[in-house]
Amino acid sequence: MSPRLDQAAALAWLCGSSVLPSSLTGCGSDGKPAGAGPSVNAGGFTAVKDNAYPCASPEPLGGEDSGFVVCDSGMIVRESPGECWSDLPRPDDVADYEFGFDQCQNDAGCTQFPNGFCRRPAAGEKAQCAYGCLTDDDCRSPLICLCGDPVGLCVEATCDGDEDCLPGYQCASNDACGRSFACQHEDDVCATDADCDEGQCVVVEQRRRCATDVVCQ
């Protein structure tokens, strides 16, 4: 995937080039967008503002090969595509197994697709088979493989890794309606729910906003 050039980044590029005179682009005398912070050379697009929500104290998620790191804020960053681990098949039966009610008893019964495991989605619900992943190749596009226990799961994403995002910004998780990943944006006002006085941090039109009226489809 490749980053989409938004209006701010386009202006930063134009101001650093000789494509148009400054009087037509809103550029300052220093060759930067008027009123804007630092921008980088015209050799590649960059954000005008520094990332307000960088990943602090990153720790590998599960291992160095996963491509994911966990930040001290709880945000997960997909630095690059990697390979997840698997604890399948697990030897134990699903908790509180009930013959005739549950659809599976243990991981050994989940063989319709690779990386199958038996789980109970919530208390009182039927145990059923689910199917995970080890790499992005196990997921249909545009999903990516998010590493986890007992195996990775395919989740929605608009970026494969940090290289799909503007320099200084990352392919970061959002948990509003199930975990998904999207590039951070210079206009973001939150990274996690903890950054919101009320409501949840959601991605709306590629920008993270605090919202109290989140409706998950």
Give pLDDT, residue 103. 97
Residues sharing a CB contact under 8 Å with residue 173, sequence separation 6 or more, in sequence order:
75, 76, 77, 78, 179, 180, 181
User: Distance between CA 137 and CA 34 in Å, rounded?
Assistant: 44
Give pLDDT, residue 43. 35
Give pLDDT, residue 45. 58
Give pLDDT, residue 81. 97
Residue pair 78/162 in contact (Cβ under 8 Å)? The answer is: yes
Both tokens assigned to 214:
């989140």
Give pLDDT, residue 153. 97
Give the rounded distance of the alpha carbon of 15 from its chain centre: 31
pTM score, two decimals? 0.75
Pairing status of strand 116-119 against strand 76-78: unpaired
Q: Running along the chain, 217 residues long, what does each successive block of 10 average in pLDDT?
A: 40 38 41 41 57 96 93 96 97 95 97 97 95 97 95 96 96 91 96 94 93 81
